[in-house]
Amino acid sequence: MSVFKGSAVAIVTPFHEKDLTVNYDAFAEQIDYQIGHGTDAIVVCGSTGEAATLTEQEHKDVCKFCIEYVKGRVPVIAGTGSNSTATAIDLSVEAQKDGADALLIVSPYYNKGTQEGLFLHYKAIADAVNIPVIMYNVPSRTGVNIAPATQARIVKEVPNVVGVKEASGNISQIVELMALTDGNIELYSGNDDQVVPLLSMGGLGVISVVANIAPQAMHDMCAKFFEGDLAGAQKLQRDTFEIFKYLFCEVNPIPVKKAVDLMGLNAGPLRMPLTEMTPANAEKLAQAMKNFGLI
């Protein structure tokens, strides 16, 4: 059985304005909003959740709060990756202990590693836990690409590494991956503008930034595809493109936190080095949201 099918939100982490501590009341409100509007799973402490600026203890606390507050209503996937294998193992073991349904592990960034190093990194983490692991391939952030052959080797040789969030944007690479695995991998889109193309290759859904503000639309896009309503899925892919465009006109999660605030859900400020969205881009984002009926 797959970890989830449909749309998982890569949820933002709200902070208090005054001291930038985690705003758990606002976080609970966002979780309820997501579950009430069709989201099929929640990914906590991912890139969109500003995990890179959380202390290790904050990281563990945010994951634990999310798991406990969700109370099994939808699967919770904890982002527990690090460029340090030992740190990733520590975060992963803690998330499993707290009840995470699965883990999302980004490839090592900055120090990167060879393809053999990537294999050993994922194997060491997966061997330390017994819940499903989803790889996260996002070369634009990490500086390293998990090659299709390496991804295929990992899922074949490491039993609880079951899938990948593919955000390389390289459709040819994704087709190669599905060929190498004969489709026996849980494939999730990491790019909101490529959901339907990946579903057409046997994908199971998306781990979505757009879902922070349009969870029902992202759920419906996947659901329509699975129901055989390809035209309906394609229309939603087209209709959400303007939102996607302005949610990524500055570094994620700068725009999506602004968008969450525009909807009346308190995302709070960003932690440095991220800065507030420029007024000109914020205006364009607001217009795109109005066009889609979000505000």
**Per-position DSSP letters for 209-221, written without gaps between them:** SGGGT-HHHHHHH
Cα pseudo-dihedral 270, 276, 281, 284, rounded to 10: 60
Residue spans of beta strands (DSSP E) within 119-217: 133-137, 161-166, 186-189, 205-208
Closest C-alpha among 155, 208, 209, 163 to residue 187 = 163
Tell me the CB-side half-sphere exposure of residue 272, using CA atoms within 13 A. 1
For residues 114 and 147, the answer to whether their CB atoms sit within 8 Å is no
Determine what percent of the chain falls in helix, strand and coil, rounding each to the nearest 5.
50, 15, 35
Distance CA 283, CA 269 (A): 18
Distance CA 41, CA 101 (A): 10
Q: What amino acid positions are annotated as catalytic residues?
A: 136, 165
For residues 205 and 4, the answer to whether their CB atoms sit within 8 Å is yes
CB atoms within 10 A of CB 39: 25
Residue type at 232?
Answer: G
Residue spans of beta strands (DSSP E) within the chain: 6-10, 41-44, 76-79, 102-106, 133-137, 161-166, 186-189, 205-208
Per the DSSP assignment, residues forming a β-bridge with 102 are 77
